[in-house]
Chain A
Amino acid sequence: MRSTATRAKSMRLGPQPGEVIDREQQFTFTWNDKRYSAYSGDTIVSALSAAGERIFSRSFKYHRPRGVLTASYLDPNCILQVGDEPNVRGAHRRVTPGLAVRSQNTWPSLRFDVKAANQSIARFLPAGFYYKTFIKPQRLWPAYESVLRRFAAGGTVSAAARHGYFDKRYVHPDVIVAGGGPAGMAAALAAAELGAQVVLVEEEHELGGHLKWGDHEELQILDALRAEVDAASNVEVMLDSVVTGRYDGNWVSVLQRHLPHAVERLVKARAKSLVVAAGLIERPYVFEGNDIPGVMLSTAVRRLINLYAVKPGERAVVFTANSEGDAAVRDLQRAGVEVARVVDARRGNHIMRARGGRGLHSVDCDDGQRVRCDLLVTAVGWTAPTSLLNMAGDRPIYNQSAARFFPSELPDDVLATGGIVGDGTLDQLIDHGRATGRVAVRRAAVVADALCAATPQCREPEKAPGALVSVHESLPELPIDEHPALFRAATHGIVDYSEDVTSKDLFGAVEEGYDSIELVKRYTTATMGPAQGKLETVNVAAVVAEATDCPIEEIGTTVWRSPYSPVTLGALAGRTFEPVRFSPMQPWHERHGASPLVAGQWIRPDHYGDAAAEARNVRTNVGLIDVTPLGKFDLRGPDVPHLLNLLYVNKWSKLEVGAVRYGVMCAEDGVVFDDGVTGRLGEDHYVMTATSSGADAVWEWIENWLQTERPDWRVHATPVTSAYASINVAGPKSRELLLRVAEGIDLSPHTFPYMRVRSARIADIDDCFMWRIGFTGELSYEIHVPAAYGMFVWETLMETGEDLGVRPFGVEAQRILRLEKGHLIVGQDTDGLTKAYAAGLSWAIKLDKDDFAGKPELVWQSTREDYFRLVGLQPLDESLVPAEGSQIIDDDGSIAGRITSSRMSPALDRSICLGQVAPHLSAAGTTVTVKLPDGSRMPATVTTQHAHFDPEGARLRG
């Protein structure tokens, strides 16, 4: 293969009237380690093209050399690696000084890529080949994978890539206009004139659409429109931004790219009306050699010449079927390109094939002529990018004479204008745009009225006086021009450039029975590349129509899905806000070396350096634990006992004033859902507690029953979790400590026994209450003080109890202490399938109650024996602490349970556990086998009760 030398000659032209480059600002960048120069405003591809480069990538499967096709964001051949960012659209991304650009997936180099050998075995690699090859033998899959991976396209991702900042924003404009061409700008301006708040979203770096590369008159009109948009204060313009999706009720997502302070910003908009002015996308032509570098679309040529002052070639053949193609001929001539031949499809002339290797060298026409050239320009028609309209429920209709799809039925809040709707002169398009903008405002006003009517106490929104009344709903008709239906020449060529799918592949797929476009897409992967069908879908439909001898209308197109353009995961994640809750005493914990535990939204002290020592101190002296996150509810009303009876499995009607009871809540499926103590403070006044992680769910559960099933009950439930700071004072010296700070209350054991609640004045603070409960198994009082005084009371207790050996203890120590006592933790020792009997709670369940949440399931469970039980477990090797979650396995190796809680006990100096085991292993004294995470096994014995320490509870009741 003879190698063609890269041109050293500059292809940069003199100044062009519409150029976007700034010749005053020149700098350098690298391409595959070679230095090139660029002007500010150049894209990577325009700068390289100006330097004479023509090959930018190698194709996906056959590794064919590829050059500019569309010179726009969608160009499938210009996808490059920029620094550590893969898959950059090289014909859209602007060059910045020092940018390091590389080609992707080429080895050893772009010029000479060994994987191009795939071309010689192309016969064996038709579309879908991987469904039939590399299947057997299965043991070779890892080998196949390592080889095939090298052939996969796409850039490289660096694990060391720095995390950029991604932003998020919410907007509520009256009108969003998607597309900043002439019709889009006109719609935005007309809407703004009527007083609407407008957001105008444009994909490219400047407004203008096809006017940007237009003739002198078009450029003047463009300047005027841009000036109007600049002057309109209620039009917000988003450039280099894309409307990526339209969802129910005009919930619209807009992606803003390359902001100065953020990598991307995801804008979530609720627009009252949406105007789609997305224009038209030029369609490639399918013929032999249509992917040789030097073959490009008319819009590519016009962009290169007019926007970037780049000469696309020296000697051109132009195949044209429309006025854009004709204009391209004029642009080429102006740029000094020799136009060797114009093949006019409207006169019935066609091209057959393009010929060349690394670059085009000739074109065969259908009259037998072979024309020498290095540039072949095609202008064969347009595809309407109806994505957003499809997402709004439209099913576009194919128009035979115009050879493209048109929108048909839109919901009230979505309108379309510009090329996507029809053709006509520039004036006609602008007029249509203006009319559409006005109608969009009228529709927006209707939506605003409906919103106001649905919002209680909404004041009437201000309407622009009289202006909207005169807006006619009917829009002017845009003419629809005839256009030859040109999809495929008499030869076969590439249909999907990104996936290397040829028209022959599509015929082959149809022959194999894949005769619907959805099946063909999935089998051949056509339209599944980066352009997602914008360049390919209509050609695929046309070729499948040919192959199945059906009209295009019947074939249809595949579903257009959001996002319209790629969105980074960073943009979707945006800024993360994680609310944090902490008790008033948290600063004290931090000052005293607390290691933080994140429990739900709460930050709590896990330990203060030595959890075992903290636990020992509780059993010996007295400890303080901050339990503020505990869920607390103030319940008032004559029907509170009914509520308690309904939500808990046990009975509450006879709870006296001053008494406290432990209760378990089940969901309607009988599964244990939460637990806590509830105390009666007065005639109609109760306080309920719930677990800290379940507090929100319990509040909702209470409201659910009161609102939906028992609206006649007189109960007020107020969450007071953060209204009170809660401190558990635990240990043999806890009474002694509290005697020093509690006023107006008799703490002697007969007057204030276990499971009682009292109001109290603590450390001079009124409105506290305290109860005697015993999660840790020691004599303990849980005091609840108004949160503002939490820190004061905590510090007072620490100071006052110094001589008693008071120490703080954290969540870890509490877990050890409660495990020594065998107290279960909902969600730790129970799971989503644990119905109450399985947790050893039969003593609490009162099936003779008329109704309570979960009753039917518990009635049925009470008649069965086949459920896993929660039991105490003692490892035979007392020094081994099995990891929580370790499986318990049966003799045949099947899973028969698991360790749910496991710790080394400081009080007993041995490991202790709770676990769930299968019924046949749950009898006390049974030895079970625990399989540890490393695969080794250890025996453990089922104990007679859950508590390993002080099972009679003597220490609690003193």
Chain B
Amino acid sequence: MITIPCPYCGPRNTSEFRYVGEQGSRPDPNRTTPAEWRSYLYTQSNEAGWVAETWWHGSGCRRYLIVERHTVTNEVRTIQPSAVHPRHCLRHEADSGEELTAERDPA
């Protein structure tokens, strides 16, 4: 089983998480059509390659995390708390940029 490098908890088994779905934006509920809305609900593009998806760390910090994962090799390229300003983006590689520290409010 693969591990997900949670920015708060460190690399943890996927059994601690729930896979929520591919990253997509919620259509405007007042302007959407049935086709568009249902595509948002049910259709996954399911690509072989880098995808952005949401995982929820249910047995850990209970944060929603947007993960960039390669669906063939299961490498994780980036991971960030959901809906956080891009400057909080975490790179997973060793020579990465910013790290989330205790002082900074992640939400």
Q: Which residues of B are found within 8 Å of A270, using beta-carbon distances?
A: 13
**Given A700-B56, A707-B64, do A449 and B8 touch, yes or no (CB 8 Å)?**
no
A707 touches B82 (CB 8 A): yes
**Given A703-B64, A711-B83, do A455 and B10 touch, yes or no (CB 8 Å)?**
yes
B102 touches A248 (CB 8 A): no
Q: Which of the residues B7, B54, B62 comes within 8 Å of A703, measured between beta carbons?
A: B62
A708 touches B11 (CB 8 A): no
- With most chain B CB atoms within 10 A of its CB, the pick from A453, A457, A709 is A453
Segment touching B, from A420-428, A680-688, A848-856: A848-856
**Given A707-B63, A711-B84, A851-B30, do A454 and B5 touch, yes or no (CB 8 Å)?**
yes
Closest to B76 in A: A454
**Given A453-B94, A704-B64, A708-B64, do A249 and B54 touch, yes or no (CB 8 Å)?**
no
Separation in Å of the A720 CB from the closest CB of chain B?
A: 16
B1 touches A668 (CB 8 A): no
**Given A248-B2, A450-B94, A456-B10, do A708 and B83 touch, yes or no (CB 8 Å)?**
yes
- Whether A860 is near chain B, meaning CB under 8 Å from some CB there, is yes
Q: Specify the main secondary structure of chain B where it touches its partner.
A: loop
In Å, the complex CA distance between A668 and B74 comes to: 29
B58 touches A451 (CB 8 A): no
Residue pairs across A and B with CB atoms within 8 Å: the count is: 71
- Whether A792 is near chain B, meaning CB under 8 Å from some CB there, is no
Separation in Å of the A357 CB from the closest CB of chain B?
A: 52
B100 touches A456 (CB 8 A): yes
Separation in Å of the A133 CB from the closest CB of chain B?
A: 42
**Given A703-B64, A709-B83, A711-B83, do A248 and B10 touch, yes or no (CB 8 Å)?**
no
In Å, the complex CA distance between A519 and B101 comes to: 56
- Whether B3 is near chain A, meaning CB under 8 Å from some CB there, is yes
Q: Which of the residues B11, B30, B62 comes within 8 Å of A451, measured between beta carbons?
A: B11
Interface 1/0 per residue, A645-677 and B, CB below 8 Å:
000000000000000000000001100000000
- Whether B107 is near chain A, meaning CB under 8 Å from some CB there, is yes
Closest to B95 in A: A453
B37 touches A455 (CB 8 A): no
Q: Which residues of A are found within 8 Å of B30, using beta-carbon distances?
A: 850-851, 855
- Whether A27 is near chain B, meaning CB under 8 Å from some CB there, is no
- Whether A251 is near chain B, meaning CB under 8 Å from some CB there, is yes
- Whether A53 is near chain B, meaning CB under 8 Å from some CB there, is no
Q: Which residues of A are found within 8 Å of B56, using beta-carbon distances?
A: 700, 704
In chain B, positions 47-96 with a C-beta closer than 8 Å to chain A are: 54, 56, 58, 62-64, 74, 81-84, 92, 94, 96
In chain A, positions 435-475 with a C-beta closer than 8 Å to chain B are: 449-451, 453-458
Separation in Å of the B99 CB from the closest CB of chain A?
A: 7
Q: Which residues of B are found within 8 Å of A700, using beta-carbon distances?
A: 56, 58
**Given A451-B10, A455-B10, A857-B37, do A711 and B3 touch, yes or no (CB 8 Å)?**
no
Q: Which residues of B are found within 8 Å of A251, using beta-carbon distances?
A: 1-2, 13
Interface 1/0 per residue, B1-41 and A, CB below 8 Å:
11101011111010000001000001001101010010001
Q: Which residues of A are found within 8 Å of B8, using beta-carbon distances?
A: 456
Closest to B94 in A: A453
- Whether A141 is near chain B, meaning CB under 8 Å from some CB there, is no
A668 touches B41 (CB 8 A): yes
In Å, the complex CA distance between A855 and B7 comes to: 34
Q: Which of the residues A454, A457, A708, A856 comes within 8 Å of B102, measured between beta carbons?
A: A457
In Å, the complex CA distance between A835 and B84 comes to: 33
In Å, the complex CA distance between A200 and B66 comes to: 38
In chain A, positions 455-506 with a C-beta closer than 8 Å to chain B are: 455-458
In Å, the complex CA distance between A455 and B41 comes to: 34
B107 touches A454 (CB 8 A): no
A855 touches B62 (CB 8 A): no
Q: Which residues of B are found within 8 Å of A455, using beta-carbon distances?
A: 9-11
In Å, the complex CA distance between A707 and B54 comes to: 12
A709 touches B26 (CB 8 A): yes
B11 touches A454 (CB 8 A): yes
- Whether A247 is near chain B, meaning CB under 8 Å from some CB there, is yes
B58 touches A669 (CB 8 A): no
In Å, the complex CA distance between A669 and B92 comes to: 35
In Å, the complex CA distance between A856 and B28 comes to: 9
Closest to B34 in A: A860
Q: Which residues of B are found within 8 Å of A454, using beta-carbon distances?
A: 5, 10-11, 92
B1 touches A708 (CB 8 A): no
Q: Which residues of A are found within 8 Å of B54, using beta-carbon distances?
A: 708
A707 touches B107 (CB 8 A): yes
In Å, the complex CA distance between A455 and B100 comes to: 10
A449 touches B99 (CB 8 A): no
Q: Which of the residues B29, B102, B107 comes within 8 Å of A851, measured between beta carbons?
A: B29
Q: Which of the residues B3, B10, B94 comes within 8 Å of A249, measured between beta carbons?
A: B3
A248 touches B107 (CB 8 A): no
Closest to B83 in A: A711
Q: Which residues of B are found within 8 Å of A248, using beta-carbon distances?
A: 1-2, 74
In Å, the complex CA distance between A910 and B4 comes to: 57
In Å, the complex CA distance between A270 and B12 comes to: 11
Interface 1/0 per residue, A232-269 and B, CB below 8 Å:
00000000000000011101000000000000000000
A249 touches B2 (CB 8 A): yes
Separation in Å of the B75 CB from the closest CB of chain A?
A: 10
Q: Which residues of A are found within 8 Å of B81, using beta-carbon distances?
A: 707
In Å, the complex CA distance between A453 and B1 comes to: 20
In Å, the complex CA distance between A512 and B35 comes to: 48
Separation in Å of the B13 CB from the closest CB of chain A?
A: 8
Separation in Å of the B5 CB from the closest CB of chain A?
A: 4
Q: Which of the residues B1, B20, B84, B92 comes within 8 Å of A247, measured between beta carbons?
A: B1
Closest to A449 in B: B94
In chain A, positions 817-871 with a C-beta closer than 8 Å to chain B are: 850-851, 855-857, 860
Closest to A852 in B: B29
Q: Which residues of A are found within 8 Å of B99, using beta-carbon distances?
A: 456
In Å, the complex CA distance between A855 and B64 comes to: 23
Q: Which residues of A are found within 8 Å of B41, using beta-carbon distances?
A: 668-669
Q: Which residues of A are found within 8 Å of B29, using beta-carbon distances?
A: 851, 855-856
Q: Which residues of B are found within 8 Å of A707, using beta-carbon distances?
A: 63-64, 81-83, 107
Separation in Å of the B39 CB from the closest CB of chain A?
A: 12
In Å, the complex CA distance between A709 and B54 comes to: 13
Q: Which residues of B are found within 8 Å of A856, using beta-carbon distances?
A: 29, 32, 34, 37
In Å, the complex CA distance between A454 and B34 comes to: 42
6 inter-chain pairs at a CB distance below 8 angstroms, sorted by A residue, are A248-B1, A457-B102, A704-B64, A851-B29, A857-B37, A860-B34
Q: A456-B102, A709-B26 are in contact. List 18 more A-B contacts (CB 8 A).
A: A247-B1, A248-B74, A249-B74, A450-B94, A451-B11, A454-B11, A455-B11, A456-B8, A456-B101, A458-B10, A703-B62, A704-B56, A704-B64, A707-B81, A711-B82, A711-B83, A851-B30, A860-B34
The 8 A-B residue pairs with the shortest CB-CB distance in the complex, in nearest-first order: A455-B10, A454-B5, A708-B82, A248-B2, A711-B83, A707-B64, A856-B29, A856-B37
Chain A residues proximal to chain B, CB less than 8 Å: 247-249, 251, 270, 449-451, 453-458, 668-669, 700, 703-704, 707-709, 711, 850-851, 855-857, 860
Chain B residues proximal to chain A, CB less than 8 Å: 1-3, 5, 7-11, 13, 20, 26, 29-30, 32, 34, 37, 41, 54, 56, 58, 62-64, 74, 81-84, 92, 94, 96, 99-102, 107
